[in-house]
Amino acid sequence: MQAEINIGLLGHVDHGKTTLTKSLSGKWTATHSEELKRGISIRMGYADATTRYCEKCKTYSFDEKCKTCGSTGKVVRRISFLDAPGHETLMTTAISASTLIDGALFLIAANEPCPQPQTAEHLMVLNAMGIKNIIIVQTKVDLVDKDKAIENYRQIKEFVKGSVAENAPIVPISANHNVNIEKLVGYIEKVIPTPARDKNAKLRMYISRSFDVNRPGTDLKKLKGGVLGGSIVSGSLKVGDMVELKPGITRKEGSKTNSLKFKVTSLREENDDLTEATAGGLVAVGTELDPAVTKSDALIGSVIGKVGDLPEVSDTVKIKYELLERKDMENPPLKMGEPVVVNAHTATNVGVIMNLAKGIATVKMKKICLIEAKTKVALSRRMGQRWRLAGWGEVVA
């Protein structure tokens, strides 16, 4: 059963995103060695869970058996949860994740004043990307008393006033003790519906992972092709399809690339093999590509489409942009020659502003990319020694 919707978990570092993902799905998404060492998410993690409804108790959960009456719940749908990093220096990954999600769980810890720095930045991401199906999750309520939790609630309401999250429900939980998780699942079903999908639309799949599944020393005859992971945002993909990936292999920085054409040898979602994958959820695509090409997330930011159906790649992009009003830093108008980071779907690119006219910035990229018209992008600029989220916009032809 394929997941039919992507729900992102956003919020400040150490506000419980990975712990909540574990509570909801049973999967600990921080598996990268550096993540375990530092206790934070670095790469975008994901995990799937199946919503079930107990008709007797009228409750939702992700458990096969109802905890109240013990009856087997009716399967409602399968959901992919995306755990986005909250640390400021890893915001580009969070912005990339926001392009894949259909709704969001916005985590705010009860044991710290609201807002924290990345809480504010993640709300800016939600505003910029126009994500409206939001549930605010007030985490770590087990660490504070009732008065403190209520005060934090008031801070949250004041913080989200005037934003896309202004009318979002606020659900207090303790992920470590699985307190109020059933209520949260109920709100997920109520507030974040599965969007309408057209499986006959043009195939577009954004690559958020690419890797080599072979162990070191594997016999040459037993080597498996490279694997691509990501989310289909339109159309469908079947085992046996011939598809194309762009930009493909870059021969040198700034050069044109060779697109990669290949046959889909397998489709998989977590532990389930699929014959066809449609929009929604995160899918692993088995290929006949040389695993040396796909290893170490080398193809993140690429796009898959049917052969001959993808537009040409380019190292220049025009963005109709708006700057964000930030209380924590000065955000003056963009300048000619200023370096910026452009995040579009799962691609992150550094560029230089070559032209500014009528609210449109023409950016010359360091690497070529495939960004289609009407794609929403986020812009970050250098403030001191850091890249800070500064604006957002839409690609124009």
What confidence tens digit (pLDDT) does each residue in 76-104 have? 999 988 776 543 444 444 555 556 788 99
Mean pLDDT score, 30-50: 47
Q: What DSSP line would sit under 220-249, residue for residue? A: GGGPPPPEEEEEEEESEEETT-EEEEEEEE
Give the range with max mean pLDDT: 151-165, 216-230, 321-335: 151-165
**Bridge partners of 90?**
none
Residue 44's pLDDT band (boundaries 50, 70, 90)?
low
Output the pLDDT for position 86: 42
CB 133, CB 165: distance < 8 Å: no
Residue 11's pLDDT band (boundaries 50, 70, 90)?
confident
In sequence order, the 6+-apart residues with CB closer than 8 A to the CB of 301 are: 207, 247, 345, 346, 347, 348, 349, 369
Q: Determine which of 154-168, 246-260, 352-366 has the lowest per-residue pLDDT on average.
A: 246-260
Which amino acid is located at 44 in the chain? M
Mean pLDDT score, 301-325: 92
CB 184, CB 170: distance < 8 Å: no
Domain boundaries, the chain: 5-191, 204-306, 314-396
pTM for the full predicted model: 0.82
Q: Determine which of 4-18, 142-156, 299-313 has the lowest per-residue pLDDT on average.
A: 4-18
Please state whether the peptide bond connecting residue 172 to the residue before it is cis, i.e. omega within 30 degrees of 0.
Answer: no
Give residue for tokens 């009456």.
69
Give residue for tokens 């598809």.
243
Mean pLDDT score, 358-385: 90
- What CA dihedral angle connects 180, 186, 191 and 197, to 10 degrees? 130
CB 381, CB 338: distance < 8 Å: yes
Q: Does the pLDDT at position 396 exceed 90?
A: yes
Q: Thinking of the domain 314-396, which architecture would CATH place it in? A: Beta Barrel (2.40)
Give residue for tokens 């389930």.
272
- Fold match, 5-191 / 204-306: no
Mean pLDDT score, 364-387: 88
Output the pLDDT for position 235: 93
Residue 282's pLDDT band (boundaries 50, 70, 90)?
confident
Residue 281's pLDDT band (boundaries 50, 70, 90)?
confident
Q: Does the pLDDT at position 163 exceed 60?
A: yes
Better-scored residue on pLDDT, 270 or 51 = 51
Which CATH class, in words, describes the domain spanning 5-191? alpha beta
Better-scored residue on pLDDT, 35 or 13 = 13
Output the pLDDT for position 331: 87
Mean pLDDT of the chain: 84
Residue 8's pLDDT band (boundaries 50, 70, 90)?
confident
Q: Which CATH superfamily is domain 204-306 in?
A: Translation factors (2.40.30.10)
Residue 254's pLDDT band (boundaries 50, 70, 90)?
very low
Q: What DSSP line would sit under 104-123, residue for residue? A: EEEEEETTS-S--HHHHHHH
Residue 199's pLDDT band (boundaries 50, 70, 90)?
confident
Q: Distances in Å between the alpha carbon of 111 and those of 131, 152, 181?
A: 26, 8, 19
What confidence tens digit (pLDDT) does each residue in 99-130 have? 678 899 999 999 999 998 878 878 887 887 77
Q: Does the pLDDT at position 286 exceed 50?
A: yes
